[in-house]
């Protein structure tokens, strides 16, 4: 059993999703517990895998016993285990929030969520580049359906852009994978890293083109500047708990950049080492700037949060392009924090929308929410996301700035980081005053499905835990960053000793 634990994060959601779709006519009262149970089970599996990755380093599951590099392998290392846990933790509050009644507004939410989780987990676990594409498609097609869940003009319009852009992205992905296969003759990422390290000079240009194409694809998913304009409309129009789930979706692109570019174009890659890093650095800074402007200009809470996602993407990719172990450790911490806290605030935005009637979550002085609990939860989320002490956002930003160091090159990064905090502070203050302080007390519209606050509180507690447990968490993340920058251990786990350059 324990040897097959590695494939459970893919199998479990597949089976749960299939069951939920088979009985799609069943009552929600049946589907909700099944979905929740599957999410809890997934969290247990993810935590077990995290413990295994901590103890044993990189581990491999050989599908169908076709040995690497000929068959497809799943690779569990610290990074993939971390991503599995982030996702599984996120799924539970999202399910709880949707189960309060929003799942009535469309069809098959519970099944779609499971397929979404399957795609995400598969993408995090796979060690094969084409298989990564396949899992991307699974998570994308589930997200297409989830984005438009509940219908309505804004969702359909945003969904159209999201779907068409991602289909174009998929086409580029296949071209890049095809190029890499044509040149290196392998799809296994570890094997490909070894072959890129020993690449003949005449093939360097082709692999560079393929690597940059992959970067474009992942940057589209992660919403880096010229490719990220689909994100605000999509996230702001989706049902709030689904937007909370999508907090992990832009991180998939980030994960893919960390994984694929970290492995294929790491220090081993010779002339191709650090491919795209300087480009991404400037684009990431520009993304931060645009995100700051968007945060300041937002006129409703969900749009504000969507722009915060853009700011965090810029911050994270800037951290990635620094390329040092400290920067990657800080970026990983910030990724965990920003995923969970953005999701928490989207869930709070859902509560706001449900309780403010016609005014929904716009910053009109029309209706205020009298509940102090909601207000305090919003305050906590805003403090965390804007990066003010004592919550996790501050720790993440401080770590990133510390890793960047204070040299002349980094001035602009410091300025943007501090401005993003200030902009967050301003925008959240404005949001808070109009949502909770000004205007007459809101009357709850009867037709709105109820939205509980508890799921958001669950996520907010995690922010405290991230700070309180900072030491062990940072140790884990530092080991993760080291393993990513020194991928020999993982390559050895996949291919065995003989493939390593120098036979090490």
Q: Does 71 bind other proteins (CB under 8 A)?
A: no
Q: Does 171 bind other proteins (CB under 8 A)?
A: yes
Q: Residues binding other proteins: what is the number (CB under 8 A)? A: 29
CB of residue 112 to other proteins, shortest distance in Å: 13
Of 138-146, 279-287, 348-356, 396-404: span binding other proteins (CB under 8 A): 138-146
**Which of 26, 37, 160, 373 is the binder for other proteins (CB under 8 A)?**
160
**Which of 130, 398, 452, 464 is the binder for other proteins (CB under 8 A)?**
130
Q: Specify the residue, 148 or 318, whose C-beta has the smaller distance to other proteins.
A: 148
Identify whether 390 is preceded by a cis peptide bond (ω within 30 of 0): yes
Q: Specify the residue, 136 or 281, whose C-beta has the smaller distance to other proteins.
A: 136
CB of residue 179 to other proteins, shortest distance in Å: 7
Q: 92: Cβ–Cβ under 8 A, 6 or more apart, which residues?
A: 36, 39, 40, 43, 455, 458
- Counting Cβ atoms within 10 Å, is residue 383 exposed (0-12), middle (13-18) or buried (19+)? buried
Q: Does 141 bind other proteins (CB under 8 A)?
A: yes
Q: Specify the residue, 41 or 179, whose C-beta has the smaller distance to other proteins.
A: 179
Total Cβ atoms within 10 A of residue 430: 14
Q: Does 458 bind other proteins (CB under 8 A)?
A: no
Q: Does 41 bind other proteins (CB under 8 A)?
A: no
Q: Does 226 bind other proteins (CB under 8 A)?
A: no
**Which of 71, 152, 270, 469 is the binder for other proteins (CB under 8 A)?**
152
**Which of 33, 56, 71, 151 is the binder for other proteins (CB under 8 A)?**
151
Q: Specify the residue, 143 or 420, whose C-beta has the smaller distance to other proteins.
A: 143
Q: Does 153 bind other proteins (CB under 8 A)?
A: yes
**Which of 156, 373, 461, 465 is the binder for other proteins (CB under 8 A)?**
156
Provide the token pair at 353.
């929308």
Given a contact cutoff of 8 angstroms between Cβ atoms, the answer to whether 269 and 180 are in contact is: no
Of 95-103, 174-182, 379-387, 413-421: span binding other proteins (CB under 8 A): 174-182
Q: Specify the residue, 167 or 461, whose C-beta has the smaller distance to other proteins.
A: 167
CA distances from residue 233 to 58, 148, 153, 286, 431 in whole angstroms, order as listed: 39, 12, 12, 19, 19
Q: Specify the residue, 175 or 279, whose C-beta has the smaller distance to other proteins.
A: 175
**Which of 21, 48, 179, 216 is the binder for other proteins (CB under 8 A)?**
179
Whose tokens are 């805003």? That residue is 382
Question: Side-chain half-sphere of 502: how many Cα atoms within 13 Å?
Answer: 4
CB of residue 158 to other proteins, shortest distance in Å: 9
Q: Does 157 bind other proteins (CB under 8 A)?
A: yes
- Counting Cβ atoms within 10 Å, is residue 58 exposed (0-12), middle (13-18) or buried (19+)? buried
Q: 476: Cβ–Cβ under 8 A, 6 or more apart, which residues?
A: 54, 78, 82
Q: Does 414 bind other proteins (CB under 8 A)?
A: no
Q: 253: Cβ–Cβ under 8 A, 6 or more apart, which residues?
A: 218, 219, 220, 221, 222, 223
Provide the token pair at 370.
């009298």
Q: Does 168 bind other proteins (CB under 8 A)?
A: yes
**Orientation angle between helical segments 204-222 and 277-297, nearest 10 degrees:** 20
- Counting Cβ atoms within 10 Å, is residue 62 exposed (0-12), middle (13-18) or buried (19+)? middle
Relative to beta strand 73-76, strand 59-62 is antiparallel
Helix (H) or strand (E) holding 59: strand 59-62
Q: Does 204 bind other proteins (CB under 8 A)?
A: no
**Residues lying near other proteins in the complex (CB under 8 A):** 130, 134, 137, 141, 144-145, 148, 151-153, 156-157, 159-161, 163-164, 167-168, 170-171, 174-175, 177-179, 181-182, 187
């Amino acid at each position: 059993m324990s040897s097959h634990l590695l494939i459970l994060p893919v199998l479990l959601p597949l089976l749960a999703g299939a069951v939920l779709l088979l009985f799609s006519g069943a009552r929600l009262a049946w589907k909700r517990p099944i979905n929740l149970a599957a999410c809890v089970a997934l969290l247990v599996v993810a935590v077990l895998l995290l413990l295994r990755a901590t103890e044993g380093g990189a581990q491999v599951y050989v599908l169908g016993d076709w040995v690497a590099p000929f068959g497809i392998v799943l690779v569990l290392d610290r990074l993939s285990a971390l991503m599995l846990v982030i996702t599984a933790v996120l799924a539970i509050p999202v399910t709880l929030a949707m189960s309060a009644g929003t799942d009535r507004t469309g069809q098959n939410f519970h099944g779609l969520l499971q397929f979404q989780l399957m795609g995400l987990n598969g993408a995090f676990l796979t060690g094969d580049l084409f298989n990564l594409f396949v899992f991307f498609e699974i998570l994308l097609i589930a997200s297409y359906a989830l984005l438009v869940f509940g219908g309505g003009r804004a969702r359909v319009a945003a969904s159209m852009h999201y779907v068409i852009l991602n289909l174009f992205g998929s086409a580029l992905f296949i071209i890049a994978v095809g190029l890499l296969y044509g040149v290196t003759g392998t799809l296994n990422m570890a094997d490909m890293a070894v072959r890129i390290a020993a690449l003949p000079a005449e093939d360097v240009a082709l692999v560079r083109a393929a690597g940059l194409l992959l970067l474009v694809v992942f940057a589209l998913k992660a919403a880096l500047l010229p490719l990220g304009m689909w994100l605000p409309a999509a996230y702001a129009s989706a049902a709030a708990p689904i937007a909370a789930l999508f907090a992990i979706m832009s991180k998939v692109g980030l994960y893919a950049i960390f994984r694929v570019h970290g492995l294929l174009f790491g220090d081993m890659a010779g002339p191709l080492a650090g491919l795209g890093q300087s480009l991404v650095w400037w684009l990431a800074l520009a993304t931060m700037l645009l995100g700051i402007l968007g945060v300041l200009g937002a006129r409703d809470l969900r749009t504000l949060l969507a722009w915060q996602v853009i700011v965090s993407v810029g911050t994270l990719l800037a951290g990635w392009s620094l390329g040092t172990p400290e920067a990657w450790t800080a970026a990983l911490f910030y990724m965990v924090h920003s995923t969970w806290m953005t999701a928490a605030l989207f869930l709070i935005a859902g509560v706001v929308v449900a309780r403010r009637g016609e005014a929904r979550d716009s910053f009109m002085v029309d209706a205020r929410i009298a509940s102090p609990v909601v207000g305090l939860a919003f305050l906590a989320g805003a403090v965390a996301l804007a990066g003010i002490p004592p919550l996790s956002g501050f720790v993440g930003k401080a770590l990133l700035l510390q890793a960047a160091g204070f040299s002349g090159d980094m001035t602009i990064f410091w300025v943007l980081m501090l401005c993003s905090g200030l902009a967050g502070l301003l925008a959240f203050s404005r949001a808070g005053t109009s949502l909770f302080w000004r205007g007459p007390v809101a009357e709850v519209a009867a037709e709105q499905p109820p939205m509980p606050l508890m799921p958001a509180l669950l996520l907010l507690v995690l922010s405290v835990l991230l700070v309180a447990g900072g030491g062990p968490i940072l140790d884990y993340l530092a080991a993760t960053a080291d393993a990513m920058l020194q991928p020999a251990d993982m390559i050895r786990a996949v291919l065995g000793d003989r493939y390593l350059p120098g036979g090490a």
